[in-house]
Each structure stands twice: as C-alpha cells, then as structure tokens.
Amino acid sequence: MYTDIGQYFKEGPLMEYETFKEAYNKSEFGLSKDIRLAINCAVAFYHTHEHVYHYVDKIRIAYSSPKKYLEECLLVKFPEFSIIRDITDCSKHNTLSRKNTQIKSAAQLEEYLVITAHEDEKGIYHSAKKGIYATLNNGAEVDLYKLLTATRYFWLYELYDLGILDKKPEEPNFSTTKPTRQHEDGAANMNLVAMEEHSSTLKIKMFAETPQLAEKLSKKTSPKELKKD
C-alpha cells in the first residue's frame, strides 16, 4: 500500500488532519462531524508509531517493540501523546480499564458551539466558533484542535529528525485576532446542520470578551446571538 514511512504519513495521517482542519474552519456545526473527524485524526496519529517502527531500521534496532518505542521515546519527548492514545482506545472500547489513563471514557470527548460576546462602537455583537474538548480525569479541559495541531508538528519534527523528511517544520501558531462584527444586529454566523432533528445534541458555551462586558450582559435579557444560515 505504501512504499515508505514518508508516503504513509503524508497520504495517511496528514490527510486525516487536513480533512479535520478544513471541516473545523467551516461555519457549520452539527451531527458530531467535527469530533468524529478529530477522533479519526487522533487514531491515525497514534498508529503512526507502529508504522515508523516497521519502516525505520534505527528505531527497530533501538527499541525491541512498537510499545517500547512508544513508552521509552515518544511519550518522553511528547507526554501529551498519552491523550492521543487514550482517545484512540476510547474510540474502540468506549471505556478504559487500564491504569494511568488521562481519559477513561468516550463520554469525556465533547464538541460545543462557543459563542463569545464582544463590543465595538456600535455596541455588543457575537462571534461563534466550534470547540472540541477532552475533559481529563483530573477535570482539566484539553482543546483537541490545539492538541492535534501540536501532534502534527511533533510527528513532522520526529520524521525530520529521523531523516525521513527534508524540511524542518514550523512550530504551530495559536495566536488569534478579535473577530469582527458579521451582522448589523450583532448576530454571529453558524450553519446549524439538522438542528431541528438533533437539537438535543446541541451544546453551547457562552463567554464575554471582558469581565466588564460580562457584567453588562448579565443585566440584559437573552439577546439574539446566532444567525442560522
């Protein structure tokens, strides 16, 4: 199927990531599409270590098994890879019984519509984006978009370090700019796919850009935040 690890990674895991990223950046929410693609991407990134072990001689010489390569090398260099492992296992088994997991159940993976209130010279307006999170066993939330992007960078650098890829990857940049007003009435754009049939699955998190704005909003009654395309 693949002639070498470079071809495998570019045509397999990297394509899964690009598919996930493209969907994540669209103003379209529903049917658990984003979390499904995120899980597919995590699974592909996780199993990459087995393919590297198969294809790369120096890895097979240094480590007696893919498990040893995972535990003695990859998890040391990139501890967050243990979350990728847990997501992969939860996608297959739903609930995990092994020790030292950071995620024990697939129920700890969720997607939300995140609505944030902002203010400009015209008044209050809203922006909408998608949030895909893993809630760890200790209660901490992990942004899966950032985790998968960091995992992409980790594998690109690992393959570069092994001499598989020629180009040194650039570190991911997670900086953001303040969203601008999209409609005169302050509503945000987001196409809610099949919202009528699946309204019970719609989870929303609401934030204000500043504490002062949060206080101002607390005195208002249910503003219209979302415009359905």
Q: What pLDDT sits at residue 133?
A: 96
pLDDT digits (tens, 9 = 90+) for 21-78: 999 999 999 888 999 999 999 999 999 999 999 999 999 999 999 999 999 999 999 9
Distance CA 190, CA 212 (A): 26
Q: What is the mean pLDDT of residues 214-227?
A: 64
Judge whether residue 120 has pLDDT over 60.
yes
Average pLDDT of every residue of the chain: 91
Q: What pLDDT sits at residue 226?
A: 52
Query: Which band of pLDDT confidence, cut at 50, 70 and 90, is reported for residue 200?
Result: very low
The least confident of 16-20, 159-163, 216-220 is 216-220
Sequence-separated contacts (24+) of 45-48 with Cβ below 8 Å: 45/13, 45/16, 45/17, 45/84, 45/148, 45/151, 45/152, 45/155, 46/81, 46/84, 46/85, 46/87, 46/88, 47/88, 48/8, 48/9, 48/12, 48/13, 48/155
Q: What is the mean pLDDT of residues 127-138?
A: 95
Q: What pLDDT sits at residue 223?
A: 47
Q: What is the mean pLDDT of residues 177-193?
A: 89
Judge whether residue 121 has pLDDT over 80.
yes
Q: What pLDDT sits at residue 107?
A: 96
pTM exceeding the 0.85 threshold for the entire prediction: yes
Contact 134, 103 (CB under 8 A): yes
Query: Which band of pLDDT confidence, cut at 50, 70 and 90, is reported for residue 196?
Result: low
Q: What is the mean pLDDT of residues 205-210?
A: 87
